[in-house]
Amino acid sequence: MPEIKIVTDVAGRVCALPAEAGADIADGDEIAFVEAMKMEIPVTSTIAGKIKAILVKLDDMVAEGQVVAIVEA
């Protein structure tokens, strides 16, 4: 099974984690929300599969392009 890294498109603070490790997700499902410029930007899965790991916690600061989760296809 290939592992796909899910990255954030913006830098900011992780303000919500609606998904958890072990959960089955569909393409486009929200894994995290990053607060940037007073907006909550969703970080979505690019494939359907199972979340192997969430690499961030609530209130973590993330950089643009940082891996936030790993999904097994």
Pairing label, strands 67-72, 39-44: unpaired
Q: Residue 1: pLDDT above 90?
A: no
Q: How many domains does the chain have?
A: 1
Return the number of other C-beta atoms located less than 10 Å from residue 43's C-beta.
Answer: 23
pTM, entire model? 0.93
CB 68 within 8 A of CB 33: no
CATH number of the domain at 56, please.
2.40.50.100
- With a CB cutoff of 8 Å and minimum separation 6, the contacts of 13 are 34, 35, 36, 59, 60, 61, 62
Q: Residue 47's domain spans which residues? A: 3-72
15-29 pLDDT tens trace? 999 999 999 999 999
